[in-house]
């Protein structure tokens, strides 16, 4: 008998398990490790201050979540320095071509208005820079039209982060099994466990953190969870012999970006294929789009070596916000899913609050905007 069973071993499942085991809860994590696991493909950009797509509720939560990283990372990297890939590398938001100037100006207005209203980041940490300054920071860049530099932006490697969360959680007592959860066990109005390989595992609470696969449990408990896979294809390039480690993230306006890592690695993407279904494979069009867009914004990448192209299925909710907390009508059942394109940003705080709720404690931050009750068709 476990206190809590967590279904799913992406960043969300592992973040929940980390905070559960840190609080001393007897926890079992079950992960099928599906092809297309989003966490293994994520670009890892952490920069709420330059996000202009999502509502204020998202921003407040994201801002608090990324603030957890500087304390969390040293704990996770104690035995393996650098294993999460986390670094405060900064970010350049650019209008690469003339057609992007108008959307850039609109975004800049929103970014600087929020900066004034909140009196942060400081004007030296979030400011417009010249095209020449932008290219000095990211040498492969085209001669861009406009640029904003945000020094506080960071990056994190999803695979490394999930692995590090798992290692530390196991030291805190977490049990992990690679297994597919076939169904929930529901007695009356309460979940009492899960079934794996015909065998029942009992628990006081169950957390569904199954990414894009989470809605599969809906039929059993009578809810239609509006979360669907959104395919993302993302290329890993290498600029041999270049010291890329300190380069900032570059974000342009056709939804694509570049993230630089040590050893010349530059990750570029990604497609956002809404309605892709469960099709976790590369396509000619997707790879073509990624390469074309990379070279439009950064022609200096043209001779880079292609190391690999990854594909992930983002768990995208109908309104773009995650589902966090108790499932109405089924005591002991909780969701931590629907994080779409920002699960690495929201992951630490989502994990913390869902762990609190699964342990019967009040959530330490307001998650009403992400309640499971919204948008559910019973």
Ligand X SMILES: Cc1cc2nc3c(=O)[nH]c(=O)nc-3n(C[C@H](O)[C@H](O)[C@H](O)COP(=O)(O)OP(=O)(O)OC[C@H]3O[C@@H](n4cnc5c(N)ncnc54)[C@H](O)[C@@H]3O)c2cc1C
Binding stretches for ligand X (CB under 6 A): 7-13, 30-34, 37-39, 41-45, 158, 180-181, 209-213, 232, 234, 269-270, 312, 314-315, 337, 339-345
**Cis-peptide, bond into residue 121, ω within 30° of zero:** yes
Q: Cα-atom radius of gyration of the chain, to the nearest Å? A: 21
Nearer to ligand X, 130 or 202 (CB): 202
- Least Å distance, CB 114 to ligand X, is 18
CB of 201 within 8 A of CB of 28? yes
- Least Å distance, CB 372 to ligand X, is 15
Closest CA to 162 of 8, 299, 373, 358: 8
Cβ neighbour number for residue 164 with a 10 Å cutoff: 26
Closest CA to 260 of 244, 238, 273: 244
Nearer to ligand X, 31 or 289 (CB): 31
Nearer to ligand X, 52 or 145 (CB): 52
Indicate the pairing of strand 27-31 with strand 2-7: parallel
DSSP H helical ranges for 93-144? 101-118, 131-137
Q: Give the DSSP H/E element, type plus range, for residue 53.
A: none
- Least Å distance, CB 132 to ligand X, is 27
- Least Å distance, CB 115 to ligand X, is 21
- Token digits of residue 229: 């896979």
Nearer to ligand X, 140 or 158 (CB): 158
Beta bridge partners of 94: 147
- Token digits of residue 291: 């390469």
Nearer to ligand X, 142 or 181 (CB): 181
- Least Å distance, CB 21 to ligand X, is 17
Nearer to ligand X, 121 or 255 (CB): 255
d(CA 59, CA 47) in angstroms, rounded, equals 10
Nearer to ligand X, 83 or 181 (CB): 181
Cβ neighbour number for residue 151 with a 10 Å cutoff: 15
- Least Å distance, CB 367 to ligand X, is 16
- Least Å distance, CB 342 to ligand X, is 4
CB of 372 within 8 A of CB of 328? yes
């Amino acid at each position: 008998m476990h206190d809590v069973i967590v279904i799913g071993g992406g960043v969300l499942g592992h973040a929940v398990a980390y905070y559960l085991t840190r609080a001393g809860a007897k926890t079992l994590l079950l992960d099928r490790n599906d092809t297309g696991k989003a966490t293994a493909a994520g670009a890892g950009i952490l920069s709420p201050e330059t996000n202009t797509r999502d509502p204020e509720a998202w921003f407040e939560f994201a801002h608090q979540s990324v603030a957890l990283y500087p304390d969390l990372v040293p704990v996770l990297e104690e035995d393996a320095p650098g294993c999460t890939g986390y670094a405060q590398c900064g970010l350049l938001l650019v209008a690469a071509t003339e057609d992007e100037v108008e959307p850039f100006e609109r975004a800049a207005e929103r970014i600087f208005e929020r900066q004034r209203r909140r009196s942060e980041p400081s004007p030296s940490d979030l400011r417009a820079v010249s095209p020449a300054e932008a290219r000095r920071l990211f040498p492969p860049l085209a001669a861009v039209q406009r640029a904003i530099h945000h020094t506080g932006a960071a990056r994190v490697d999803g695979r490394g982060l999930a692995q590090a969360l798992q290692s530390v959680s196991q030291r805190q007592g977490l049990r992990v099994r690679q297994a597919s959860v076939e169904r929930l066990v529901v007695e009356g109005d309460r979940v009492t466990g899960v079934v794996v390989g015909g065998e029942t595992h009992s628990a006081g609470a169950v957390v569904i953190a199954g990414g894009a696969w989470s809605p599969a449990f809906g039929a059993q408990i009578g809810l239609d969870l509006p979360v669907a896979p959104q395919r993302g294809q993302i290329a890993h390039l290498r600029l041999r012999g270049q010291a890329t480690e300190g380069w900032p993230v570059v974000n342009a306006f056709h939804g694509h970006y570049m993230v630089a890592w040590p050893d010349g690695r530059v990750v570029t993407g990604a497609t956002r294929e809404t309605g892709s279904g469960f099709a976790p494979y590369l396509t000619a069009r997707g790879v073509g789009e990624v390469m074309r867009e990379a070279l439009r914004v950064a022609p200096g990448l043209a001779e880079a070596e292609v190391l690999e192209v990854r594909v992930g299925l983002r768990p995208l909710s109908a309104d773009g916000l995650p589902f966090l907390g108790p499932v109405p009508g089924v005591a002991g059942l909780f969701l931590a899913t629907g994080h779409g394109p920002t699960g690495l940003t929201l992951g630490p705080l989502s994990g913390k609050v869902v762990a609190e709720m699964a342990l019967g404690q009040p959530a330490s931050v307001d998650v009403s905007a992400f309640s499971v009750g919204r948008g559910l068709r019973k």
